[in-house]
Structure 1
């Protein structure tokens, strides 16, 4: 795991083993604008910087049941890890997420996801966090790397790719 602590008073970490080499996992993660192709809870995602990959790249995501966020890559180690900032959502203040891919034996890899965050709406946000939100985040965090694992291991996409700036690709009308 990384020695650099992410910003935020609170943190969570999860790890997922993948039955594929690290470079195959990285291919999915490096396509930063496409989490809607593997993450069920991301109903729409698109690049806000379509001519950029890596450091400084930004995306928009609509999260089922929560609203929309914007994310920006703030650290990029090609083939290994990316760190991105996330705009506030609900009681979460801006947060930071780091995804790291590790080789883990012949043809296998491991994804480590770290989340650093703060709360807003004190004291209500803190009460919500203490009563149920931390448990909900701890339960939800593994869903991201598990979705990447499924995408990598099966090669199947949940949704069609989007045209630039989030416009759905139109399918031909039936005659």
Structure 2
């Protein structure tokens, strides 16, 4: 299994950052790689069991993700249960934690198996892993920019 972990610092309180992440169906608001995202009908808007579809910015690919764990205010984990990416058994965890007053570390962890056997393993080394690492980093930067664009971005203590 390939594992990735990207972190970023955001000059805002964790509750402010979490308030953006908790709008589970709206990842397209800050992710430069998602053209459109929406909650899948019949599932909760957030929390355990919520499911969303993310149509990717390339116009060709999509993923469907379902929340498998949700700790309000700090993290959620999803399984990617359907999609057009060359990966399987994929999951992701997004978390936030305060590192200093008014400062948050946001983390994205991704785990997956490449499809296509030995060819997939080679694709993973030269294409998939670098691409998903960039996507995670870009999403953290997009999250930071989005949060910072919200007025005072929740700086300072509560």
| CA distance in structure 2 between the aligned counterparts of 1:68 and 1:14, rounded to whole angstroms | 22
Q: Which residue of 1 aligns with 2:55?
A: 62
TM-score by length of 1: 0.79
CA contact (8 A) 2:93 2:110 kept: yes
Unpaired stretches in structure 2, ≥5 consecutive residues = 152-158
- The TM-score normalised by the length of structure 2 is 0.87
From the superposition, tell whether residues 51 and 13 of structure 1 become closer, same or farther in structure 2 (CA, over 3 Å). Answer: closer
- Measure, in 2, the Cα distance between the counterparts of 1:57 and 1:39: 19
Asked if residue 154 in structure 1 is aligned to residue 149 in structure 2, the reply is yes
Distance 1:132 1:100 in 2: 26
Q: What corresponds to 1:161 in structure 2?
A: none
Q: Does 1:81 align with 2:75?
A: yes
Which structure's residues are more often strand, by fraction?
Answer: 2
- The structure with the larger Rg is 1
Shift of 1:50: 5.6
Q: How many residues align?
A: 148
Question: Unaligned regions of 5+ residues in structure 1, if any?
Answer: 1-8, 157-175
Task: Please report the RMSD computed on the Cα atoms of aligned residues, expressed in angstroms.
Answer: 1.6
Alpha carbons 1:73, 1:83 under 8 Å: kept: yes
Q: Deviations over 1:126-170 (max 9, x none)?
A: 1211233222222222111111111111129xxxxxxxxxxxxxx
Question: What is the rounded CA distance, in whole Å, between the counterparts of 1:103 and 1:133 in structure 2?
Answer: 31
